[in-house]
Structures are given as structure tokens and as C-alpha cells.
Structure 1
Amino acid sequence: MGPSKRHRDILRLLEQDGTVAIAELARKLNVSLETVRRDIRPLAGNGSVVKMHGAVSLPSIVGEAPFEKRMRENSEAKKAIAAAVARTIRDGDSIMMDTGTTTSFLARELLGHRRLTVVTNSSDVARTLATVNDNRVYMAGGELRSDNGAAFGTTAIDFVGRFTVTHAVISTGAVNADGMMDYDLEEAEFARMVLTRGQRALVVTDHSKFGRQGLVKVAGFDAVTELATDKAPPSDIAEALRTAGAELLLA
């Protein structure tokens, strides 16, 4: 396979999966890490891709893409993570979720559960689980954002702060050795509050978020009890999890 063919394949994979780790590109293209790095240089040079620490992305999705597009990115991985987490939740449990594509997939996986108490700022999560199976759903108030239909701000944070739940679940835009990060201040502040409200504090994220550098820190690994993902994280993240005493749930 020549460089030009690999260039096309790299762009195709990025369009399909969003941000992709360089090691994952090498595996999918069946070439060495050095070959992938060499192929990425001209693509980065002409602005076709953006290089990040250990990963590469299309310029249009640096930061976060619109919610609907993010739902399509790595959807099979997110579904697998959601299914694995849903198996750890019992009928009658209470669960708090922030807005995010993986938490939206989790809400869909919970449609087989009964008598759940759900607290969320996501209209998608609330709409999915309300009025079915004797669930009780509490939706945080505030102005709903047009891109993801979620409420943020002090009103939403104060509302969820009144609850204590069995499972507090957040998704996140970036994970590195320092912990979880996001690209929006209000989303990070809301997620930080959610983590404090559960007997179990769980982060759900697919492997493409590993190694990303977000804009705002949500929390360190000492604020969570578990991280659920689809692939083993890089060694620095795995070590940080162990040091913090957080468990890893692999889908």
C-alpha cells in the first residue's frame, strides 16, 4: 500500500471514528507506528488533520462536534460500554447522569430495567427513561442548549446537589493521566457535582478520549470509583487509576 492510498485510508478512518490514536491507526492499517507518523506529517502540514498527544483528528472535530455527530462516532464502542455498565445496575436503583453520547447510550440500555430513579440534566436521557417501567425521572432546570438539549448553570447544579444516588455517571471529552477533562466550563462544573452525589462515581468513555487534552479539568481519578471503557487505557492513565484506587471496567 503506497503513501497516497494510506493517506486516503487515514482520512476515511478519521471521518468514520473521529479522533483516533496513532497506535490504533497503525493496527488498522497494518503498518508500523513510524510509518503512520511519517504518513501523518504531510497531512498535518497541509491542514488535513490535527495532531494531538498520541492521536490525530480532523480539524472539524477538534473540540467537540455537534451531539448528533458524536452519537455516530465510535457508536459500537459506546454501546458496548453502556451494555456493560447497565449490567451492574439493578431494578429499583437510583442513577444520576450528565449529558453525553455514552450516557445517552446507557439510558437506552436501561430500558429493560424497572423502577429506576433517574436524575439528569439531559433531555435525551430524561425522554428515553421517563414514563416507562415505573421509573421516576427528575430533570434539572435551566435553559436547554440547542446542540445537546441539556440544562447547565447554577440552577442545574443546585438541583442535582439535593440528591444522593446509588450510581453517579458522567461521560467526558478527554482523559489523560491527570484525570477527566472537558471542553466547556459549565459542562465540567456540572459533571464535577454529579461525581460527588453517588455512592458509586463512574466515568464512561470510549478509548478515543484517551490522551486528549481538554480545556477544563473535571476531576482527578481520586474523585471516581470506576472508569468504564472499551479498551485498556495507556500505561500512564492505567497507573494513575491504580494509584487513585479507582477500578477499571472493560466492556
Structure 2
Amino acid sequence: MPPSPRHTRILALLEEQGTVSVSTLADHLGVSLETIRRDVKPLADQGQVIRMHGAIGLPAVVGEAPFERRMRRNRAAKEAIARRAAASIADGQSVMLDTGTTTSFLARALLGHRRLIVVTNSSDIARTLATVNGNRVYMAGGELRSDSGAAFGMSAIEFISRFTVDHAVISAGALSAETGVMDHDLAEAEFGRAVLAQGRRRLVVTDASKFGQQGLVQVGAFAEVDELVTDRSPDGDLAAALLEAEVQVSVAGV
């Protein structure tokens, strides 16, 4: 039996996001939860998707590490943000990057650049940019995370504190009008704060899904940031807080 249009749309959404909740599917397709469950059953019976509690996923994705799954989430927006940020970095300049899915996409967007000096705690970013186009890559050491392959701890922070770079770029777990840039992990927040302190230009790259969210740990106030590159213009209290802190907002077209 040929796939129905809804089956095709379900599989296309999964290709983009890897896993998705049943309720999100229902909202996205404008149908009831019961209709989605009926649609999913033949796909699961054929092995095209795997059913989980309240969600479905592609078989190849369900076993992925958390960082790999996050790389799939909002991928188009993150790639557009990465291209916009990469366009503002010139050949031969120095850039410091923390670990994050958007900064990993930025590393890929920088593959056309030459003679970059790159400082990072991310093994993914280091592997992407090392040994190509005359780049020099400095990798911070420390406790290595199993999911992201990034190093954290005081030794990583002490290492990057030796550098002053043209562009200090961090990702963000949340952006709040009240508390500024936030993250959900203490070690990642501390490292991100240290990165911002080393840049002549301080840049946050994050997609609009982080707007108005609250993280666990503050990375820094908006006054400690020069520019935000994102995929949608902030509004309301968040836009007012960014304006007051004189943060330049660059919106990437997706």
C-alpha cells in the first residue's frame, strides 16, 4: 500500500527532528491524538518508526547519544544561524567556541575559511576544523563528557584564560529578560562565562526556542554580550532587555 500524505509528513518531520511527541505531531498535522496513533501503527508495524512512551522516533535515532539527538533538533534554524555568524568572521581571525549544537554547526560553516585560530573545549569542533585550510586549533583539556566529547573543569577554564580572541562565541540553554543568558548545567555555564570574558567581540548563537526560557545557572547578563545571532526577532520583555543592554540582534533567514 502506498504511503498516505500524512505518513509522508510524519516521516519527513522525524527525518528533521529524530524523535517527536505524539501531541506535537497532532498539533503539527491538525488532527486528533487518536488519528495520529492510528497513523503511527502501520509505520511501527513495518519497522519504519519505533514507538516510545508518548512519542515516536526513527530506529537509527533512538540509540543515538543525547548530543547527536540535539543536533537534529531545529537543525534548519541552527544551520542558518551558523551561516550568519560565520559570515561575520574573517580569514585569519581567532575564535573561541564552547560546546553546543549551534556552535558545532558554526564550526561546519567555517570550513570554507582559512588560517583561523580556534580555541575550544569541544572535540567535535576541534576535529571539524583542525588540519584544514591552514587552521591552528587549540583544544582545552579536562574532564571529558561521554555524550558531547567536550572537556570541562578548572583545567579547561585555566587553559582558555591564556587566550584573547577576536570572537568569543557561546551557545545558550535559555534566554531570559530577567536573568540574561542561562544554561542547564553548572560546568557548561561556568565554561561559557569564561569564554565570553576572553573575546573582543562576545557573541551568543541560539535559536528562538530558547527565548523566554529559564535555565538552571546564569552564564551572564546581557550587558556581557555584544551580539545575538538567532533565527527570529525577539519580542516583548526579552526584546526590551536586549535593547537596554545594547545587544545587537542579527536574524538569520531560515
TM-score range with shorter-chain normalisation? Answer: 0.7 to 0.9
Compared with structure 1, are the counterparts of its residues 18 and 187 closer, same or farther at alpha carbon in structure 2 (3 Å cutoff)?
farther
- Please show how residues 81-230 of structure 1 align to structure 2 within 5 Å: 81-177=81-177, 178-230=179-231
Cα deviation 1:105-151 (Å, max 9, x = unaligned): 00000000000000000000000000000000000011211010000
Alpha-carbon contact 2:18-2:69 (below 8 Å) kept = no
Instruction: Give the Cα–Cα distance (whole angstroms) in 1 for the partners of residues 211 and 54 of structure 2.
Output: 22
Amino acid at match of 1:233: P
Instruction: Give the Cα–Cα distance (whole angstroms) in 2 for the partners of residues 120 and 151 of structure 1.
Output: 9
Partner-residue secondary structure (3-state), 1:112: coil
Q: TM-score, normalised by structure 2?
A: 0.75
- Aligned-pair CA distance for 1:213: 1.0
Instruction: Give the Cα–Cα distance (whole angstroms) in 2 for the partners of residues 137 and 188 of structure 1.
Output: 22
Instruction: Give the Cα–Cα distance (whole angstroms) in 2 for the partners of residues 182 and 74 of structure 1.
Output: 18
User: Does structure 1 residue 240 correspond to structure 2 residue 211?
Assistant: no
Instruction: Give the Cα–Cα distance (whole angstroms) in 1 for the partners of residues 174 and 54 of structure 2.
Output: 22
Identity of aligned residues (%): 63
Instruction: Give the Cα–Cα distance (whole angstroms) in 2 for the partners of residues 68 and 96 of structure 1.
Output: 22
Instruction: Give the Cα–Cα distance (whole angstroms) in 2 for the partners of residues 136 and 167 of structure 1.
Output: 15
Instruction: Give the Cα–Cα distance (whole angstroms) in 2 for the partners of residues 127 and 212 of structure 1.
Output: 31
Alpha-carbon contact 1:19-1:208 (below 8 Å) kept = no
**Unpaired segments of 5 or more residues in structure 2?**
1-5, 31-52, 56-64
Amino acid at match of 2:197: T
Please provide the CA RMSD for this pair: 2.5
Alpha-carbon contact 1:94-1:165 (below 8 Å) kept = yes
| Structure 1 consecutive aligned stretches of length 4 or more whose deviation exceeds 3 Å | 15-20
Q: Report the equivalent of 1:61.
A: none
Instruction: Give the Cα–Cα distance (whole angstroms) in 2 for the partners of residues 250 and 236 of structure 1.
Output: 18
Instruction: Give the Cα–Cα distance (whole angstroms) in 1 for the partners of residues 232 and 183 of structure 2.
Output: 20
Compared with structure 1, are the counterparts of its residues 118 and 100 closer, same or farther at alpha carbon in structure 2 (3 Å cutoff)?
same
Q: Report the equivalent of 2:62.
A: none
Cα deviation 1:70-125 (Å, max 9, x = unaligned): 00000000000000011101000000000000000000000000000000000000
Instruction: Give the Cα–Cα distance (whole angstroms) in 2 for the partners of residues 188 and 17 of structure 1.
Output: 26
Partner-residue secondary structure (3-state), 2:114: coil
How many residues are paired up?
206
- Aligned-pair CA distance for 1:211: 1.6
Compared with structure 1, are the counterparts of its residues 88 and 19 closer, same or farther at alpha carbon in structure 2 (3 Å cutoff)?
farther
Compared with structure 1, are the counterparts of its residues 19 and 95 closer, same or farther at alpha carbon in structure 2 (3 Å cutoff)?
farther
Alpha-carbon contact 2:183-2:189 (below 8 Å) kept = yes
Q: Report the equivalent of 2:35.
A: none
Amino acid at match of 2:190: E
